[in-house]
């Protein structure tokens, strides 16, 4: 039997308790270096968890700027307390300028790589959105949650195949994300 002044073996559950964290922890199966994660806004100490990152994918170039921005702002309101959100519209590129085309694509692909999940506004056909969905699902094996007004029979078979789930509204897609990706 150990005395009170002797070291007791660490309890494996201690790794999940915020006050006892030293340098890193495993939270929800995801390794967290909590000071770094907290600094980056990825660790929520009040909920003792690493926040998953969602990339907000959807038409920009072929969409009215207000529509492209509006749904992303609504998604931020619905999801900001539960997830870190990557919005490609945070960058100020001009779509039709040749020298920024490569930057747009590379920055968007980096966001897809950095995300755990894609939330996709599938309100119209979009080459860029389709490429992001295919890359995330096929090449990276990520969850792709979409929302669309289209009835199933009007959806592209490619989007049906590579979206994990397609919801009828942003609200239902957001509820699904919270229910399935937050403990």
Domains delineated in the chain: 12-50 (no CATH), 53-181 (3.40.50.450)
Chain position carrying tokens 């609200």: 171
- Give CA–CA dist 113/136, Å, rounded: 7
- Give which of 34, 11, 54 is closest to 173, Cα–Cα: 54
pTM: 0.74
Whole-number Å distance between alpha carbons of 171 and 24: 34
CA distance 166 to 128: 18
Select from 43, 11, 10, 51 the least CA-distant residue to 24.
43
C-alpha closest to that of 142 among 41, 55, 30, 44: 55
Instruction: Spell out the per-residue pLDDT of the chain, length 183, in tens.
Output: 444 444 444 444 444 333 333 333 334 444 455 455 555 555 555 554 689 999 999 998 878 768 899 999 999 999 999 999 999 999 876 655 666 788 889 999 999 999 999 999 999 989 999 999 999 999 999 999 999 999 988 999 999 999 999 999 999 999 999 999 986
């Amino acid at each position: 039997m150990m005395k009170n002044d002797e070291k007791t073996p660490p309890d494996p559950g201690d790794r999940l308790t915020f006050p006892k964290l030293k340098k890193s922890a495993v939270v929800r199966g995801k390794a967290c270096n909590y000071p770094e994660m907290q600094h980056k806004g990825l660790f929520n100490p009040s909920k003792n968890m690493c926040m998953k990152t969602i990339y907000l994918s959807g038409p920009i170039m072929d969409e009215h700027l207000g529509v492209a921005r509006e749904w992303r702002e609504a998604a931020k309101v619905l999801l900001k307390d539960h997830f870190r959100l990557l919005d490609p519209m945070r960058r100020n590129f001009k779509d039709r300028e040749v020298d920024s085309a490569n930057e747009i694509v590379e920055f968007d692909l980096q966001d897809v790589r950095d995300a755990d999940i894609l939330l996709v506004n599938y309100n119209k056909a979009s080459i860029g959105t389709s490429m992001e969905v295919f890359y995330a699902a096929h090449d990276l094996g990520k969850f792709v949650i979409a929302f669309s007004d289209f009835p199933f029979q009007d959806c592209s078979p490619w989007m049906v195949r590579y979206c994990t789930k397609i919801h009828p509204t942003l609200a239902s897609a957001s509820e699904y994300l919270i229910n399935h990706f937050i403990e």
